[in-house]
């Protein structure tokens, strides 16, 4: 929590008058929802901008510039630096995780599991567990066909890895910094299970999984180790 004067800029009670001091007046400058590190949940916030003035005998005289902005929690009243807004809300985080698992499954399926019902079922089950409640094997099969057709038209029939790599990066890069290593590893392992559902990794699946690991900012040697151990463990 940031130190400072009360919300109305008045001195806190219990302090005697001083010859000179600094007084900060806060004005509202926007609002939204954030994850409050003070009371630990998704809350509304108000962004506050502070005007610092030099006071002489309690009278504000000289402008000392702006301070903040700070973010004030509507629930607990805690004040934090604007960097707390970089942290996703719990709701946003769940949505990012859900999209990540879905995208990763699609990438692996597109790389080799298209024809396999077992792989599609495994992917749909994983996606549902991650929050894509209405995800089915048929729906994934349709999406994989769309990806195939798009790569065929955009990349003139050659393997179109750049599109999938880009998609993976866009979905996973914003999520990765907010996940502990175990969380990032679990997304990769889930993708590995999809690839392994219909037999050993195909070279294209192995490549897609390497892309997933890289987009999750997992070190290459960890990715290899995890993929090998997943292949040895019967699911
Ligand atoms: Zn709070």
Residues 126 and 74 in one domain: no
| Residue 151 or residue 78, greater confidence | 78
Model pLDDT, residue 113? 56
Residues 225 and 122 in one domain: yes
Report the alpha-carbon distance of residue 113 to residue 72 in Å, rounded.
49
Whether 37 maps to a domain, the answer reads yes
Q: Partners of 32 in the beta sheet?
A: 45
CA–CA distances in Å: residue 120 to residues 23, 69, 159, 199: 63, 48, 21, 13
Whether 137 maps to a domain, the answer reads yes
Among 85, 120, 135, where does a domain finish?
A: 85
pLDDT grade for 58, boundaries at 50, 70 and 90: confident
Model pLDDT, residue 157? 53
184: which residues sit within 8 A by CB, 6+ positions away? 176, 216, 217, 218
Residues of the domain holding 49 = 21-85
Segment (H or E) for 106: helix 90-108
Residues 74 and 183 in one domain: no
Ligand 1 centre from 211 Cα, in Å? 38
Upstream peptide bond of 69 is cis (omega within 30 degrees of 0) = yes
| Residue 78 or residue 23, greater confidence | 78
Whether 214 maps to a domain, the answer reads yes
Residues 103 and 76 in one domain: no
Model pLDDT, residue 91? 94
Model pLDDT, residue 124? 93
Read off the CATH number of the domain in which 170 is found: 1.10.3680
pLDDT digits (tens, 9 = 90+) for 112-138: 756 688 999 999 999 999 999 999 999
Ligand 1 centre from 25 Cα, in Å? 21
Ligand 1 centre from 150 Cα, in Å? 46
Model pLDDT, residue 163? 72
User: Mean pLDDT for the chain?
Assistant: 85
Report the alpha-carbon distance of residue 104 to residue 123 in Å, rounded.
9
Residues 31 and 78 in one domain: yes
Report the alpha-carbon distance of residue 93 to residue 51 in Å, rounded.
34
Could you give the number of structural domains in the chain? 2
Segment (H or E) for 232: helix 220-232
Model pLDDT, residue 60? 80
pTM of the shown model = 0.74
**Cβ-based burial of 184 (10 A; exposed 0-12, middle 13-18, buried ≥19):** buried
Count of C-beta atoms within a 10 Å radius of residue 62:
11
Whether 160 maps to a domain, the answer reads yes
Model pLDDT, residue 90? 94
Residues 25 and 115 in one domain: no
Report the alpha-carbon distance of residue 173 to residue 195 in Å, rounded.
22
Whether 196 maps to a domain, the answer reads yes
Whether 61 maps to a domain, the answer reads yes
Ligand 1 centre from 28 Cα, in Å? 17
Among 148, 97, 101, CA closest to 125: 101
Average pLDDT over residues 18-34: 87
Ligand 1 centre from 48 Cα, in Å? 15
Residues 194 and 101 in one domain: yes
Ligand 1 centre from 99 Cα, in Å? 27
Report the alpha-carbon distance of residue 224 to residue 189 in Å, rounded.
11
57: which residues sit within 8 A by CB, 6+ positions away? 17, 19, 20
Residues 219 and 126 in one domain: yes
Ligand 1 centre from 27 Cα, in Å? 19
Ligand 1 centre from 29 Cα, in Å? 18
pLDDT at 158 over 80: no
Ligand 1 centre from 146 Cα, in Å? 44
Residues 49 and 144 in one domain: no
What are the helix (H) ranges across 130-180? 137-154, 161-172
Ligand 1 centre from 72 Cα, in Å? 8
Ligand 1 centre from 42 Cα, in Å? 8
Cα dihedral value 110, 116, 119, 125, nearest 10: 100
Residues 81 and 130 in one domain: no
- Do 201 and 209 contact (CB within 8 A), yes or no? yes
Whether 3 maps to a domain, the answer reads no
Q: 143 φ, ψ to 5°?
A: -65, -40
Ligand 1 centre from 34 Cα, in Å? 9
Among 85, 109, 141, where does a domain finish?
A: 85
pLDDT grade for 24, boundaries at 50, 70 and 90: confident
Ligand 1 centre from 182 Cα, in Å? 28
Average pLDDT over residues 129-151: 87
């Amino acid at each position: 929590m940031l130190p400072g004067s009360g919300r109305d800029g008045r001195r806190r009670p219990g302090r005697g008058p001083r010859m000179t001091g600094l007084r900060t007046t806060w004005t509202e400058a926007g609002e939204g929802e954030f994850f409050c590190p003070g009371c630990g949940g998704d809350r509304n916030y108000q962004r506050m901008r502070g005007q610092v003035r030099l006071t002489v005998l309690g009278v504000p005289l000289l402008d000392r510039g702006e301070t903040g902005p700070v973010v004030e929690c509507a629930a607990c009243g805690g004040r934090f630096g604007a960097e707390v807004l970089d942290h996703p809300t719990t709701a946003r985080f769940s949505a990012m995780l859900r999209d990540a698992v879905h995208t990763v499954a699609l990438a692996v399926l597109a790389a080799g599991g298209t024809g396999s019902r077992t792989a599609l079922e495994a992917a749909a089950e994983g996606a549902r567990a991650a929050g894509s409640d209405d995800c089915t094997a048929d729906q994934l099969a349709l999406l994989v066909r769309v990806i195939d057709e798009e790569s065929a038209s955009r990349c003139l029939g050659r393997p179109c890895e750049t599109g999938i790599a880009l998609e993976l990066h866009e979905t996973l890069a914003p999520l990765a910094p907010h996940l502990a290593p175990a969380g990032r590893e679990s997304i990769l392992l889930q993708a590995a299970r999809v690839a392994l559902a219909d037999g050993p990794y195909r070279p294209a699946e192995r490549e897609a999984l390497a892309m997933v690991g890289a987009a999750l900012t997992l070190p290459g040697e960890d990715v290899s180790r995890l993929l090998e151990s997943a292949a040895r463990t019967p699911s």
